[in-house]
Amino acid sequence: MAGRLNNKVAIVVGAGSIGPGWGNGKCTAVTFAREGAKVFCVDRKRAAAEETVGLIEKEGGVAVAFEADASKNASVKAMVDACMAKWDRIDILDNNVGMGSTGGPVELSEDEWQRVFDVNVKSFFLTAKHVLPIMEQQGKGAIVNVSSIASIRSPKGIAYVAYNASKGAVNSLTLAIASQYAEKGIRCNAILPGLMHTPMIDFLAEQYAKGEKDHNQAYDRMIAIRDRASPTGKMGTGWDTANAALFLASDEAAYVNGHLLVVDGGITVRA
């Protein structure tokens, strides 16, 4: 059966999960493999990448695990070199790494601001730096960057100044690459997920519940708050992000370039 990504090689950066369950990167890597791609699964924790590879291989797909810190130039170069040594081409680059840090301009330290930008923006810049020359030589390629609706909205009472600003920078980086490389057959788009129920959210909910008298009740309360905030009454999942990434990475999106695709159940259209 022909898949939408048959004969393509995809690098998924952030292909593991912080804990049990299905995060954006893991879902995307598995989805790409199900659609026929050979997937180079990258994570800063090798065990997390290997877990995703195991899931893909169990379904009969093809994947390789690689440990890399996407915020370090030498590490990213090694990642790209290893993928080329294995499969001699890169058709898709999917960037999933990211982190957040609470606080406004006054509360947040300079070091923490820089750390967020290194992970959320510099990593996307570095992967593009090393992958774009390969795609240019091939005459074709697709880059998918995972941003956030935090790049276009900042709800009252929630201070994530570094996260908001860094995701806004991801959007601008995406548009700049899309414009510069369009004539070379390379597309660059971004996905802006909304409130998603992923292992990262479970981790944050657990952190929130620590020290509470009724741990389970505190955890459930945070999840319920996020569910109610979505117009659908339920958070999205990593599969929603993965399906958007599949479309943007596939030839079906051949004329989609420089697009910021909101995947949020409609939360950003509410007042």
Give 98's pLDDT tier (boundaries 50, 70, 90). very high
Run of H or E including 141: strand 141-146
Specify whether the CB–CB gap between 16 and 52 falls below 8 A. Answer: yes
Specify whether the CB–CB gap between 248 and 191 falls below 8 A. Answer: yes
219 is catalytic: no
- Phi/psi of residue 172, nearest 5 degrees: -65, -40
- One-letter-per-residue 3-state SS of 41-99: EEECCHHHHHHHHHHHHHCCCEEEEEECCCCCHHHHHHHHHHHHHHHCCCCEEEECCCC
The token pair at 140 is 């074709």
Q: What's the rounded mean pLDDT across residues 113-123? A: 97
Residue whose pair of structure tokens reads 């996020």 in the numeric block: 226
| Packing angle of the helix pair 215-229, 199-209 (nearest 10 deg) | 130
Could you tell me where in the chain the CATH 3.40.50.720 domains are found? 9-196+237-266
CA angle 142, 154, 200 (to 5 degrees): 60
Q: What is the mean pLDDT of the chain?
A: 93
Give the pTM: 0.94
CA distance 188 to 257: 6
Closest C-alpha among 63, 68, 69 to residue 41: 63
Q: What's the rounded mean pLDDT across residues 67-78? A: 98
Q: What 8-state DSSP symbol labels residue 140? A: -
Q: What 8-state DSSP symbol labels residue 112? A: H
Catalytic residue among 160, 163, 181, 219: 163
CA atoms within 13 A on the CB side of 152: 19
Q: What is the pLDDT of residue 137?
A: 98
Using one digit for the tens of pLDDT, what is the confidence trace for 129-155?
A: 999 999 999 999 999 999 999 999 987
Q: Which amino acid is at 22?
A: W
CA distance 229 to 5: 35
Using one digit for the tens of pLDDT, what is the confidence trace for 183-220?
A: 999 999 999 999 999 888 877 767 666 766 676 777 78
Q: What 8-state DSSP symbol labels residue 233? A: S
Percent of the chain with pLDDT over 90: 82
9-13 and 92-95 as β-strands: parallel, antiparallel, unpaired?
parallel
CA atoms within 13 A on the CB side of 221: 10
User: Strand pairing partners for 236?
Assistant: 196
Q: What is the pLDDT of residue 55?
A: 97
CATH domain 9-196+237-266 topology: Rossmann fold (3.40.50)
Q: What is the pLDDT of residue 213?
A: 66
- Asked whether the predicted pLDDT for residue 21 surpasses 70, the reply is yes
